[in-house]
């Protein structure tokens, strides 16, 4: 038996330019990338572990890789990924995701950032890098990511990430840092809709929105069309009550001093979250949002969407730390931190799609390392007769 060729996922990485000069190439770039992806799926968290995994699996890898000079050393993995163009590597990842997975219409895509805490290098004055990711909440997929430029913040990285994503028909959610006019415009340009958390970083618009909802609450005779939805969840002695009010009435918008500057803005949103624990004083949080959606029974959908947004914390950021030890990673030379982040996202996407195996991500990584048959399933590779 031999492995089927070509392996479709890996085809997307053939276009990545090799940063090495020709005379120094003892190993094909695609082989290095394939070994790294497989090793990270199987539990490797640094270059030494990737090289060790490769040496243990040399015979198996030679079923679909030439490897005339065996497995690269850990130094070779480190050097290549430190010099590999990070944007090109991410573009290859993006091409694979867009060709392999289809987003359902109306799916919530959460965008949020996360620091790679130990990617700093104080000896050369290098701060820890910050990655902004887009997360499809229904598919449990990372759609793409982008490193925040040095001496900048998420505001500059999000529009660049939005430019390369295929978001038509999706609902994009972003926290208050991303509540910016150009980001709203970029989402509309992608033929998508948005729900942006609104806080006092938007000055007049925030103040006017808070005052408008206060007027509605205090004036029962108001003639503005609003919608309301509520959810109540109970468990382990805890009660969580969430209320959402939406205002889509055009008659209200002249009261907002800067509303006309926001592309596609059609709805103002207020969400109240109350949490009750036995023997404790209830806690209440209130948040305000801007949305480009306007439809009947909108409050229920936006209440669900704003809650789904936080799935990026548990479904992506928390798993990267717990199952992949991302916050403990000391990979830090050159482009290595962002390139290794892409390797983790590839591995997590593939492992998440193995829903037939009822294991956590960390256990799936171990299983892939133990079972070549399971690793083939994760990779989507099939066996064919010679």
- Give the pLDDT confidence score for residue 386 in this predicted structure: 34
pTM flag (> 0.85): yes
- Give the pLDDT confidence score for residue 190 in this predicted structure: 93
Q: How far apart are CA 134 and CA 113, in angstroms?
A: 9
Q: Is cis: bond before 6, omega within 30 of 0? A: yes
What is the total residue count of the chain? 386
- Give the pLDDT confidence score for residue 119 in this predicted structure: 64
Q: Please give the DSSP secondary-structure letter assigned to residue 337.
A: H
pLDDT (tens digit per residue) in 96-137? 998 888 888 889 999 998 888 666 556 655 566 788 999 999
Question: Is the pLDDT confidence value at 203 over 90?
Answer: no
Please classify residue 237 by burial: count the beta carbons closer than 10 Å to its beta carbon, then call 0-12 exposed, 13-18 middle and 19+ buried. Answer: exposed
Question: Is the pLDDT confidence value at 1 over 60?
Answer: no
DSSP 49-60: HHHHHHHHTHHH
Q: pLDDT class for 149, splitting at 50, 70, 90?
A: confident
Q: Please give the DSSP secondary-structure letter assigned to residue 272.
A: E
Range among 28-32, 175-179, 225-229, 279-283 with highest mean pLDDT value: 28-32
Q: pLDDT class for 81, splitting at 50, 70, 90?
A: very high
Question: Is the pLDDT confidence value at 217 over 70?
Answer: yes
Which region among 147-156, 326-335, 353-362, 370-379 has the lowest average model confidence (pLDDT)? 147-156
Question: Is the pLDDT confidence value at 5 over 50?
Answer: no
Is 286 in contact with 272 (CB distance < 8 Å)?
yes
- Give the pLDDT confidence score for residue 4 in this predicted structure: 41
Q: Please give the DSSP secondary-structure letter assigned to residue 4.
A: -
Is 35 in contact with 47 (CB distance < 8 Å)?
no
Average pLDDT rounded to a whole number, residues 38-62:
96
Compare 352 and 122 and report the one with higher pLDDT. 352
Range among 2-16, 24-38, 145-159 with highest mean pLDDT value: 24-38
- Distances 129 to 46, 126, 146, 312 between C-alpha atoms, Å: 17, 9, 10, 19
> How far is C-alpha 35 from the chain's CA centre?
24
- Give the pLDDT confidence score for residue 255 in this predicted structure: 81
pLDDT (tens digit per residue) in 313-345? 989 999 999 999 888 888 878 899 999 999 999
- Give the pLDDT confidence score for residue 235 in this predicted structure: 83
Say what angle helices 361-370 and 372-379 make with each other, to 10 degrees: 120
Q: pLDDT class for 6, splitting at 50, 70, 90?
A: very low
Residue 110: phi, psi to the nearest 5? -90, 135
- Give the pLDDT confidence score for residue 254 in this predicted structure: 83
Is 346 in contact with 365 (CB distance < 8 Å)?
no
pLDDT (tens digit per residue) in 224-272? 878 999 999 988 889 999 999 999 988 888 888 888 899 999 999 999 9
- Give the pLDDT confidence score for residue 18 in this predicted structure: 92
Which region among 69-73, 99-103, 372-376 has the lowest average model confidence (pLDDT)? 99-103
Q: pLDDT class for 385, splitting at 50, 70, 90?
A: very low
Is 85 in contact with 17 (CB distance < 8 Å)?
yes
- Give the pLDDT confidence score for residue 100 in this predicted structure: 83
Mean pLDDT of the chain: 88
Q: List % helix, strand, coil for the chain (3-state, nearest 5).
A: 45, 20, 35
């Amino acid at each position: 038996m031999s492995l089927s060729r070509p392996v479709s996922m890996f085809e997307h990485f053939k276009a990545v330019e090799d940063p090495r000069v020709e005379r120094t190439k003892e190993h094909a770039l695609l082989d290095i990338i394939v070994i790294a992806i497989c090793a990270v799926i199987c539990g490797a968290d640094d270059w030494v572990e990737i090289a060790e995994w490769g040496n243990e699996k040399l015979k198996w890898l030679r079923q679909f890789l030439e490897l005339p000079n065996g497995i690269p050393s850990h130094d070779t993995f480190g050097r290549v990924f430190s010099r590999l163009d990070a944007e090109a590597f991410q573009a290859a990842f993006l091409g694979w995701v867009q060709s392999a997975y289809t987003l359902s219409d109306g799916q919530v895509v959460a965008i949020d950032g996360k620091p790679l805490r130990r990617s700093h290098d104080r000896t050369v004055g290098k701060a820890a890098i910050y990655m902004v990711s887009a997360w499809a909440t229904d598919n449990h997929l990372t759609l793409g990511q982008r490193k925040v430029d040095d001496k900048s913040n998420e505001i500059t990285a999000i529009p660049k990430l939005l430019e390369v994503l295929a978001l038509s028909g999706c609902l994009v959610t972003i926290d208050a840092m991303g509540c910016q006019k150009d980001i709203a415009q970029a989402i509309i340009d992608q033929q998508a809709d948005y729900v942006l958390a609104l806080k006092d970083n938007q000055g007049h618009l925030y103040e006017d929105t808070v005052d408008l909802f206060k007027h509605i609450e205090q004036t029962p005779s108001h003639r503005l069309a609003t919608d309301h939805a509520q959810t109540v969840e109970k468990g382990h002695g805890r009660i969580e009550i969430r209320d959402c009010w939406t205002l889509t009435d055009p008659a209200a918008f002249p009261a907002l001093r800067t509303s006309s500057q926001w592309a596609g803005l059609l709805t103002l949103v207020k969400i109240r979250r109350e949490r009750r624990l036995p023997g404790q004083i209830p806690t209440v949080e209130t948040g305000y949002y801007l949305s480009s959606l306007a439809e009947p029974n909108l409050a229920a959908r936006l209440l669900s969407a704003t809650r789904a947004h936080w799935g990026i914390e548990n479904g992506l950021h928390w798993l990267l730390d717990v199952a992949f030890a991302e916050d403990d990673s000391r990979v830090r030379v050159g482009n290595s931190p962002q390139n290794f982040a892409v390797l983790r996202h590839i591995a997590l996407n593939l492992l998440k799609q193995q829903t037939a195996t009822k294991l956590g991500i960390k256990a799936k990584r171990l299983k892939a390392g133990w079972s070549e048959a399971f690793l083939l399933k994760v990779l989507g590779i099939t066996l064919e007769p010679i």
